[in-house]
Chain A
Amino acid sequence: MRTSGVERRQQEFTEFYTSSRDDCLRIVLVSVGDRQLAEDLVAEAFTRAWMSWRKVREHPAPRAWVVRTALNTHVSWWRRRRRELVVDDRTAVTLLDGTQPERSADLDLDEGLAAAIRALPVRQREVITLRVYCGLDTDATAKLLGIAPGTVGAHLHRALATLRTQKQCFSDQGVM
């Protein structure tokens, strides 16, 4: 019986991971702007999700839980080495002649708006990410972040005020 329970949970997690991983990676990538760092953070967040699966599976927004965990994960030893090159192709030979790695997907982002988001303070960025990309409302965002709904509103207000200053960037995209 125990074995079947473990297998069932593993199957649940596998289905959740398979259906959520790309979306979570893209959300985190928008927020951190570094493909390899984003993958590390999301992998770590899903690892923690599996380790706490009993709790996460009952969470009202497990995908948002993963994104929030990824954004808060201190992968300190990777972060200290953010200038690393990436082993892009595991089987390919990697040149050592100082050439830059190939363009990664993060470079294809709309740099103006994405850079403005990434420049936000962490908490404001979390609020924007959870509200916009994870579709949480103010109360759900507040609960996930462990702060008051009014504080979420304050962070959202400040974030939008900052983003509004990027008038040229947004007007180019027809936002303002």
Chain B
Amino acid sequence: MNDEEMLTAMRSSLTSIKDSLTDVHMHEPPEAIIGRARSRRLRHGLPMVAAGGLALGVGLALTWSSVSSPSTRAVHVNLAAWSVNTTSAGLVDVTIRQLEDPAGLGRTIADAGVPVKVTFGRVCSPPSGDLPELPQVLRKVANGGDLVLTINPAAMPSGTELVIGIGTFRQGSQQVRAAAFSLIKDGSSLNCNDTQNAPGTGGTKAVS
């Protein structure tokens, strides 16, 4: 049996693997793909426009400012409760060890170029659902009990902000620590729910 015959013999088994994945779908809408390409073109194209001495309108300048700032602002804040560090790749690494000072954490993440709302003890979500870019913007890294997030500011569409809510929930007879994430348009309304034993109102509680 030569290679082509062997390949033919194996083809049905090989393709059956793929064909068995009927429940696997790509949910990202085409608008998200096109939008990502557009923002990437904008990021890469604007410096050349500026170098050519072309006048930029105020709106364009504002857009450039919001897009470029994540990659130009270095932040390295490491506290006992949480850490925020930008990377050379333009990412923002966030580690939360204790649910303390959510406002300070939010400001620090914002300094790193990520518009964000941070809540401890309450979890907020948009009634209209998340923007589809969320999986490209935020990842939660498995790291024991600490909450470790990697945020890609460049993947955030213009005019959006991240919502991070962390709290303690009752699951049966147990208390479990949990987090919820959303990506919303600026100014979008949010439905917020207080979590049980909200650490933000009842003192600091370790995420471990």
Query: Which residues of A are interface residues toward B (Cβ below 8 A)?
Result: 10, 13-14, 17-18, 21-27, 29-30, 35-36, 39-40, 42-43, 46-48, 50-51, 76-78, 81, 83-87, 90-98, 105, 108-110, 113-114, 117, 128, 131-133, 153, 156-157, 160, 163-164, 170, 173-176
Contact of B140 among A14, A87, A117, A163 (CB under 8 A): A87
Can you report 24 residue pairs joining A to B where beta carbons are below 8 Å apart? A10-B34, A14-B34, A21-B26, A25-B24, A27-B18, A47-B36, A47-B40, A51-B37, A51-B41, A76-B89, A81-B150, A83-B142, A84-B139, A87-B139, A91-B129, A95-B177, A96-B176, A96-B177, A97-B176, A113-B14, A131-B7, A132-B7, A156-B3, A160-B10
Contact of A39 among B28, B36, B180 (CB under 8 A): B28
- How many Å lie between the Cα of A60 and that of B135 in the bound state? 32
Given A26-B24, A90-B135, A96-B147, A160:B3 Cβ within 8 A = yes
Contact of B10 among A48, A133, A163 (CB under 8 A): A163
Asked if B62 is at the interface (CB within 8 A of a chain A CB), the reply is no
Contacts of B14 in A (CB 8 A): 113, 117, 128, 132-133
Query: Which residues of B are interface residues toward A (Cβ below 8 A)?
Result: 3, 6-7, 9-11, 13-18, 20-21, 23-26, 28, 30, 32-34, 36-37, 40-41, 89, 91, 123, 125, 129-130, 134-136, 138-142, 144-145, 147, 150, 152, 169, 176-183, 207
- How many Å lie between the Cα of A97 and that of B15 in the bound state? 38
- How many Å lie between the Cα of A173 and that of B17 in the bound state? 11
- How many Å lie between the Cα of A47 and that of B31 in the bound state? 10
Contact of A105 among B23, B33, B179, B181 (CB under 8 A): B23
CB <8 Å contact, B142 and A25: no
CB <8 Å contact, A24 and B10: no
Chain A interface SS verdict (over half)? helix
Contact of B136 among A30, A43, A76 (CB under 8 A): A43
- How many Å lie between the Cα of A83 and that of B21 in the bound state? 23
Contacts of A96 in B (CB 8 A): 145, 147, 176-179, 207
